[in-house]
Amino acid sequence: MDQILEFGASLGLQPEVFVAILVVAVTLLLLVILKLASGGKRGNAVLLIGPCNGGKTTLFYRLKDGSTHLGTVSSMQENEGVVQVRNDKDRVVGSVRVLDLPGHPRLRSKMEQHLNDARAVVLVIDAADITPHRTEAAEDLFEVLTHPTVCGKRLPVLIACNKADLETQAHSVDFCRRTIEKQLDTMRKTRVALGGADSTRVTQALGKADKPLVLGSLRSSITAAAISAEKGDVAEVMQFLAKLV
Ligand SMILES: Nc1nc2c(ncn2[C@@H]2O[C@H](COP(=O)(O)OP(=O)(O)OP(=O)(O)O)[C@@H](O)[C@H]2O)c(=O)[nH]1
Ligand SMILES: [Mg+2]
């Protein structure tokens, strides 16, 4: 300590001034380290992704202006808009840019481009129809979690199990989550078995293939919620967005 104070004196600084400068410098350094450890800079768009017919466009309009979108056609282009984010007391607490991406397999490459600018992802699935669409849903999640720019970012992901209003047909959140988890595990095994640089990134993002994949233990925070975009039951999506602003 004496040596440090002597060093300060050699710079012509009073001991208390020198100590104050040191405290500020150490605090700043710690803040920088914390920021880096939390995964670096994220983009600024929230992406709505997922298989065709899941309800992304319906959710997009519901969030944007509370309107009911007549989802009769599959989207061929993305929709972009700003969503006013409200807290649970219905007060506007900020806004986020939201992108509704088409689920059509031929347009999936769009998602890859937008992931460079992603701040968070909402994977919208049809909870009544998850079993036949589990591969697409898991592929989308796989793409997100192993994307080179996302790998180091700890991107928040919400699995929105939509169409919860179809009470007798809609599967539970737990079922949807486990179905996607299992499918993602299968994809991880296949990709790791293929080897190469790609498999290193897969292991980095999804863990080693010798243990069962657990969504809750991945680097990115992955949560799931039951919603109904059509009936306006989207509070859990709003809560997810509120954590971003
Ligand atoms: N019952 C029910 N139907 C819904 C809900 N949300 C969307 N739908 C219906 O599901 C269909 C597909 O909705 P979209 O919002 O167009 O789905 P999408 O994910 O944008 O589909 P793509 O653009 O093809 O990727 C439409 O007929 C909607 O009316 C919901 O919460 N409950
Ligand atoms: Mg759409």
Task: Find the ligand nearest to 128 CA.
Answer: 1
Give the CATH fold of the 45-242 domain.
Rossmann fold (3.40.50)
Tens digit of pLDDT for each residue in 196-238? Answer: 767 888 888 898 888 899 999 888 889 999 999 999 999 999 9
pLDDT computed for residue 17 by the predictor: 86
Name the residue with higher pLDDT: 151 or 121: 121
Please list, in sequence order, all residues whose beta carbon lies within 8 angstroms of the beta carbon of residue 78, skipping any fewer than 6 positions away: 99, 100, 101, 102, 110, 114
Give 149's pLDDT tier (boundaries 50, 70, 90): confident
> Across 32-36, 87-91, 131-135, which has the greatest mean pLDDT?
131-135
CA distances from 70 to 61, 62, 81 (A): 10, 11, 17
**Burial class of residue 60 in the structure, from the number of CB atoms within 10 Å of its CB (0-12 exposed, 13-18 middle, 19+ buried):** buried
Q: How far apart (Å, rounded) are the C-alpha atoms in residues 183 and 56?
A: 21
Report the SS3 class of residue 81: strand
Residue of 230, 231, 236 to mutate, ligand 1, most atoms within 8 A of C-beta: 230
Q: For a substitution probing ligand 1, which of 48, 57, 77, 79 has the most ligand atoms within 8 Å of its CB?
A: 57
Residue 40, pLDDT above cutoff 60: no
The pLDDT, as a whole number, for residue 138 is: 96
In this predicted structure, what is the pLDDT of residue 48? 97
Q: Which residue has the higher pLDDT, 36 or 192?
A: 192
83 Cα–ligand 2 center, Å: 17
**pLDDT per residue as tens digits for the range 91-118:** 999 999 999 999 988 887 788 889 988 9
Percentage of the residues of the chain whose pLDDT score is greater than 70:
94
Residue 235 CA to its chain's centroid (Å): 17
Q: What is the pLDDT of residue 37?
A: 56
pLDDT at 42: 58
Nearest to 160 by CA among 14, 6, 55: 55
Q: Which of 153, 194, 163, 152 is nearest to 50 (CA)?
A: 163
The per-residue pLDDT for range 126-143, each reduced to its tens digit, is: 999 999 999 999 999 999
